[in-house]
Amino acid sequence: MAILRGEWGRGGEVGVTFAGDGCLRDLNREFLGRDEPTDVIAFNLSSGDDDLVGDVYISVDRAADQARDLGIDLEEELLRLELHGLLHLVGYDHTGEDDAMWKVQEDWLRRLIGKVKT
């Protein structure tokens, strides 16, 4: 995965699961203490300095709503959320709308699909 090598310097193994709001709400509540659905949640399962191992869960329900609100294809939003989860796995976090994580995410999206509408 180019993004892992580009942002983390190593490869890895990441599973991506597409699910509904109910599943993401359950994961969000159980692991983050937030009783609400979310669009993406990532779990870094790595141990030590080995290659990255992790899981990314994406809510197709949230992705569809967000794609519709943004006027973009569902596939673009799903890729955006996958990138977002991967960036969390390699250590990025976000605290506001202007932070570096969003910029890196959109840069990778442009590299992968070209012109990005949002």
Q: Which of 75, 59, 62, 74 minimizes the C-alpha distance to 27? A: 59
Phi, psi angle pair for 56, to nearest 5°:
-120, 130
Per the annotation, does 94 bind a ligand?
yes
Per the annotation, does 88 bind a ligand?
yes
DSSP secondary structure letter of residue 51: S
What's the Cα-to-Cα distance from 49 to each of 8, 10, 53, rounded to whole Å?
11, 10, 11
Per the annotation, does 84 bind a ligand?
yes
Q: Which of 62, 64, 61, 110 minimizes the C-alpha distance to 83? A: 110
Residues in binding site: 84, 88, 94
Residues in binding site for Zn(2+): 84, 88, 94
